[in-house]
């Protein structure tokens, strides 16, 4: 078992944390969050990409446990209970969705909000279909619901449609996971496959990953510093660049857990969001002090 592999109970807990979607509405900012992430911090492929990570993790666990399907059955039970609610409450339909969110928790705790808004009301109202330009699906969703919501005269309506889109992306990812789990289960039970390592994966984890000698949130602080200082980028557009860097970091980097050793840097967007909270500014300060100490030492050598 490698240091990067989660134990079955750790894996199940991590998936439970992901799948028990926690939605709240911040009354000061008038914004929704899913699992402590502002909607504008999530790209439309976030949940799908996260599920691909769970698929890879499940394959590793099955290989290490002689394809014991107990964990598979536990996952399917969890997923199917959630998908039953999705179908039963008809959340895929906007009108039913509005009833579903009527009891969402409202919060007003102190938290910093400095998330660039990728999708704005004006951008949607000014949007013109162009068959030669590929737009994010969320733009189509927001555009399709604008008439029904009075051209988003009320900002709350705009935020509800955004939430509607991402909630459906979340449930689509669970359908996708259910399909892949049954695919793996069928391969083992019906076809007697013993080695799942070469089974097709949409998002295969790189064999060689870069390890950071920092804890999870300090690692996020490091990349926040590098991004804000404009020392690294992956696109000329700042918003797209930040999104691409987050995805790249989740795929290619590990962090150091003081108790468990090297761990994959999953949920990077969530950790990146935490760094922006003033209450966690000490983590940024720790990383800055670490870098400053190194810079002073090296500067002294050169002088």
pLDDT by residue for the chain (303 residues), tens only, comes to 333 567 888 999 999 999 998 899 999 999 999 988 899 888 888 898 899 889 988 988 988 888 788 999 999 999 999 999 888 989 999 989 988 777 788 999 888 787 878 888 998 888 876 654 556 788 889 988 999 999 999 999 999 999 999 999 999 999 999 999 998 888 888 878 777 776 655 555 555 788 898 888 888 888 888 988 889 998 887 877 887 888 788 878 888 877 667 777 766 766 776 666 655 677 778 888 888 988 988 898 887
Q: Which of 157, 172, 204 is the last residue of a domain?
A: 204
164 and 107 co-located in one domain: yes
194 and 243 co-located in one domain: no
When divided into structural domains, the chain yields a total of 2
266 and 197 co-located in one domain: no
268: containing domain: 206-303
Is 278:112 a contact under the CB 8 Å cutoff? yes
Cα gap 60→230, rounded to integer Å: 37
Beta-bridge mates of residue 106? 25
Is 171:83 a contact under the CB 8 Å cutoff? yes
138 and 237 co-located in one domain: no
Cα gap 91→85, rounded to integer Å: 8
Residue from 199, 166, 181, 230 nearest 33 by CA: 166
Neighbour count for residue 124 (Cβ, 10 Å): 21
43 and 110 co-located in one domain: yes
């Amino acid at each position: 078992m490698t240091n990067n592999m989660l134990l079955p109970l750790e894996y199940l807990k991590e998936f439970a944390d992901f799948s028990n979607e926690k939605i709240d509405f911040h009354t000061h900012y008038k914004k929704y969050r899913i699992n402590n992430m502002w909607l504008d911090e999530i790209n439309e492929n976030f949940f799908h990409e996260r599920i691909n990570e769970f698929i890879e993790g499940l394959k590793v666990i099955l290989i290490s446990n002689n394809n014991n399907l107990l964990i598979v059955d536990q996952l399917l039970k969890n997923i199917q209970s959630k998908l039953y609610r999705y179908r039963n409450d008809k959340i895929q339909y906007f009108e039913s969705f509005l009833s579903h969110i009527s009891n969402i928790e409202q919060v007003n705790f102190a938290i910093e909000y400095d998330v660039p808004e990728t999708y704005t009301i004006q951008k949607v109202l000014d949007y013109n279909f162009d068959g030669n330009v590929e737009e994010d699906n969320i733009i189509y969703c927001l555009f399709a619901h604008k008439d029904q919501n009075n051209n988003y005269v009320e900002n709350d309506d705009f935020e509800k449609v955004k939430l509607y889109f991402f909630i459906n992306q979340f449930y689509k990812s669970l359908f996708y996971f259910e399909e892949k789990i049954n695919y793996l289960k069928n391969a083992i039970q019906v076809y007697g496959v013993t080695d799942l390592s070469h089974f097709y994966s949409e998002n295969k984890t790189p064999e060689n990953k870069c390890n950071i000698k920092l804890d999870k949130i300090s690692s996020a602080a490091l990349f926040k510093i590098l991004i804000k200082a404009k020392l690294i980028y992956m696109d000329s557009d700042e918003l797209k660049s930040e999104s691409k860097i987050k995805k790249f970091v989740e795929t290619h980097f590990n962090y150091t857990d003081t108790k468990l050793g090297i761990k994959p840097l999953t949920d990077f967007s969530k950790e990146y969001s935490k760094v922006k909270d003033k209450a966690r500014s000490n983590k940024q300060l720790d990383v800055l002090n670490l870098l400053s100490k190194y810079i002073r030492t090296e500067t002294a050598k050169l002088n």
